[in-house]
Structure formats: C-alpha cells, structure tokens
Amino acid sequence: MRPYLILKLEGVMQAWGGHTFEYLRPSELFPTRSGLLGLLAACLGIDRRDDERQRALAESVIFTVRVDCPPLKMTDYHTVKNSRLDYESLKSAETIQTWREYLLDAKYTVAVGATETATISLQEIASALTKPVFTPFLGRRSCPLGRPLLVESVAAKCARDALHSIAVSQIGKNEKSQLGTDQPLTIYTEELENGPPLWLRDKPIPNRHRQFATRQVSIISEEQGGNHVSK
C-alpha cells in the first residue's frame, strides 16, 4: 500500500495553460503537470526563481487526475501593451490583441503520490496545503479556489484505487446528477497502465524558465462505480 494525498480542484473558472503564443493563451482540458507543481510550490512557499527547490518538488511527486465534471470553455478577449519585441515585428509599446481560454465549472480530483527519490514528503505538502505560504489559484490569478484543496490522505495499491476509495463519499448527489449515472469518468495517470497513452508537453525543464519537456500519461475510463471501461 502507498500513501496518497487527495485534492479537489473546484472553482468558477480554471485555466491550465497549453502551448502559449503572444496572441493566444489556450487552456488544456485538465490540470497540467506544470500547473499542479506551481500550485504545490505556492503552498510550500517555493519561489519560482528557486531552481533547487523547484527541482526537488518536481522529483518528489507523481500525479493522477480524475475529471469529475467536464468543463465548458470560454475565450476572453484582451488588448495588451509591452508585448515581446518579436511579435509580428511590433515595437514593445504598441498594443496587440490577445485571447485567453478559461474552463468554466470544472471539477477535478487529484491523487498526489510520492516518488521513490522524494526529498519533499507528502506530510510536508499536506501541511502546506492547509496553511499555504503564497495564495494558491487554479492556473491563473483570476481563478480563485472554490473550496479547500486537501480532502484527505489515503493508502492504496495505486492512484486509481486511491481515487476510487473516495468516489462515493466525495462526489455529491448534485455532481452525480450533472454527470449522468451512465457517463464514465476519465482518469489521466502518470502511473502508466494499460490505457491508451497520451503525450503532453507540460513537464518543466529545470533551470529553463517557461521551457517544457514531454511526458506520457495513461488514459483510463471508468464507470462511476469504479469499474474499468474498455475503449
């Protein structure tokens, strides 16, 4: 049995950045690894310029995300000054148009596990989640939390079992009615299983600001009772 922290990410708006361009700031449909690391780092009080602690955190945790309530996407229009100099040959003082994507009414459950080489313990992370040093938010500062992050700590054989162990008690009747009793839940796990693989470029590269490597996750589809659904 392995320990896991169970987190709930819920709010009116969330934004989990995908590949970013100056004019378009898209959001992935579920929390990215870089976004989840940033969330934990904020709670722990790790400065974004503290490369050593950022690396230690990244090497200490592994994530599994369950989509409890699929989001709707919204695009917000902005005009921005002081853009990058190489944006379509504009000078930095000129104004450009930008579009930023947000997720509306999304709900996710996240299982945070520890790696074998972890130097930051789950107990330390759990304590920080209840008393964060910096204000946590759901991807962008304009996306506040709709509830406390930490649900509980559980022991399970794998992250999928850890999520399943709290499914009935933590997903309320209203959420179940929104999903529909026959609609399966989608799980994205770094604990690679037999599900279809998905490659994501959202793994921060140490000492390289805003640069990301590729990682693989497995996609698992389950009935709400926890049974695996074949794809």
Residue 104 phi, psi dihedral angles, 5° rounding: -105, 135
pLDDT in tens, 18-52: 776 667 788 989 999 999 999 999 999 999 889 89
Report helix angle 122-130 to 33-44, nearest 10: 70
pLDDT in tens, 71-129: 899 999 888 776 665 555 555 557 778 889 999 999 999 999 999 999 999 999 999 99
Instruction: Supply the pLDDT for residue 177.
Output: 39
How high does pLDDT run on average in the chain? 83
d(C-alpha 71, C-alpha 63), whole Å: 20
Instruction: Supply the pLDDT for residue 179.
Output: 44
Instruction: Supply the pLDDT for residue 175.
Output: 45
Average confidence (pLDDT) over 144-164: 93
Residue with tokens 């079992």: 161
d(C-alpha 119, C-alpha 96), whole Å: 44
Instruction: Supply the pLDDT for residue 110.
Output: 96
pLDDT band of residue 202 (cuts 50, 70, 90) is confident
**Beta strand pairing call for 96-104 and 13-14:** antiparallel
Distance of CA 50 to the CA centre of its chain: 21
Among the listed residues 194, 132, 141, 161, the one whose alpha carbon sits nearest the alpha carbon of residue 15: 141
Q: Which fold has domain 2-222?
A: Alpha-Beta Plaits (3.30.70)
Instruction: Supply the pLDDT for residue 208.
Output: 65
Dump the DSSP string for 64-120. EEEEEEPPEEEEEEEEESS--TTSTT--TTS-EEEEEEEEES-EEEEEEEE-TT-SS
Instruction: Supply the pLDDT for residue 173.
Output: 42
Q: Are 55 and 203 in contact (CB under 8 A)?
A: no
**Token reading at 93:** 């003082």
Q: Are 222 and 216 in contact (CB under 8 A)?
A: no
Q: Are 36 and 63 in contact (CB under 8 A)?
A: yes
DSSP state of 29: S
More confident site: 211 or 100: 100
Instruction: Supply the pLDDT for residue 89.
Output: 52
Average confidence (pLDDT) over 162-184: 56
Residue 42 phi, psi dihedral angles, 5° rounding: -60, -45
Instruction: Supply the pLDDT for residue 230.
Output: 36
